[in-house]
Amino acid sequence: MQPIVPFEPIRTETFPEGPNWVAQVKWDGVRILAYLEDGQSSLFNRRRHERTLQYPEIHDVTAYVRAKSVVLDGEVVAFAAGRPSFYQVMRRDSVQRRDRALTRMREVPVCYMVFDILYRDGRWLTDEPLAVRQQLLAQTLAPHPNVWMVENETDAKALFRAVCAEHMEGIVLKDLTSRYLPGGKDGRWRKKKCYRDRLAVVGGCTLRSERRAVSAWLGLYDGQGRLWYIGQAGTGRLTEHGWSALTQAVLAWPRHTSPFCNLTQAPGVLWVEPRIVVRVAYTEWAPGHTLRQASIQAQVPVSPLQCRLQPDDPMPV
């Protein structure tokens, strides 16, 4: 059996309405498809790269299914401080040696959050509606300490508020009548992410050859007036006109040295006087104390000194 590319949701900012729509937690982990055929188990990620070695606690698919052959779709998740941590699961996913995988298994436990079944006992189920596949999945999964079936919720807005309050990634909205299209991506599945936003100062910029801004290098001030680099941000809700205006602004305030106290050199960056303020959307602070999935929403006419590190922010390094 050849590994397949999984069906993907599209991004949405709205909640679809109707009795056929359900919502699920969007687990912030690694997309993994589990295969069982002729007594042999294997795990593959969305790019069809094998991950059987990396996750010893779930690599034996026979331990958690009531079937002779199966293909499951789900997310491998690790936790930190009681919530899913993409960075912790990547510690597992990057392992290349079996002995190291066993060590990491003890250091970073994972769960396999299964949300779909594509094949069972010689029959492909991808043409069945999601509601039928979920019934078959519930019948197929056997109890296992590291494997869980993802539950449906009918109140998508309430679920979204709850996961955002817990600083989780977001939700996935699914049409119960939808078929599963391997390698597909359309509106039958939709993802809505939780974003936080804040003001940040532009201290540098990456330009295209025609001197067009493509990303901004952002900073926040501390109580001593030092500007700390907190990451880069690219396209967001800025229109073409917005990017042109931002480009003109950064080109008007060039400088020879970095304004950041924790980042003095970066090849190809145009350093900028810290006078430009933008509103940035992001999902969380990354372990390197930069903003994850940051995107510029707007240029804001306020004082740069309003862009400050807060007491609960991690101190950049």
pLDDT, tens digit, for every residue of 276-292? 999 998 988 887 789 98
pTM for the model stands at 0.78
pLDDT reading at 149 higher than 80: yes
Reported confidence tier of residue 197, pLDDT bands at 50, 70, 90: confident
Work out whether the CA dihedral 184, 185, 188, 192 comes out positive or negative: positive
Reported confidence tier of residue 9, pLDDT bands at 50, 70, 90: very high
> Do the beta carbons of residue 200 and residue 281 sit within 8 Å?
no
pLDDT reading at 15 higher than 90: yes
Instruction: For residue 220, give both structure tokens.
Output: 């926040």
Using CA atoms, how far residue 231 sits from 85, 182, 216, in Å, is: 19, 35, 8
When comparing pLDDT for 34 and 314, which is higher? 34
pLDDT reading at 243 higher than 70: yes
pLDDT reading at 144 higher than 90: yes
pLDDT for residue 122? 94
| Whole-angstrom Cα Rg for the chain | 23
pLDDT for residue 210? 64
- Domains in the chain, CATH or no CATH each: 7-27+151-194 (3.30.1490.70), 28-149 (3.30.470.30), 196-306 (2.40.50.140)
Q: What DSSP character marks residue 66? A: S
Instruction: For residue 228, give both structure tokens.
Output: 């700390």
Reported confidence tier of residue 222, pLDDT bands at 50, 70, 90: very high
Highest mean pLDDT among 43-47, 83-87, 88-92, 280-284: 43-47
- Using the structure block, give the residue that is written with the tokens 């974003």: 195
Alpha carbon distance 156, 159 (integer Å): 5
Alpha carbon distance 148, 115 (integer Å): 9
**Percent of the chain's residues with pLDDT above 90:** 74
pLDDT reading at 167 higher than 90: no
Taking all residues of the chain, what is their mean pLDDT, rounded to a whole number?
A: 93
Instruction: Name the β-bridge partners of 24.
Output: 172
pLDDT for residue 240? 79
Q: Kind and range of the H or E element at 23?
A: strand 21-26
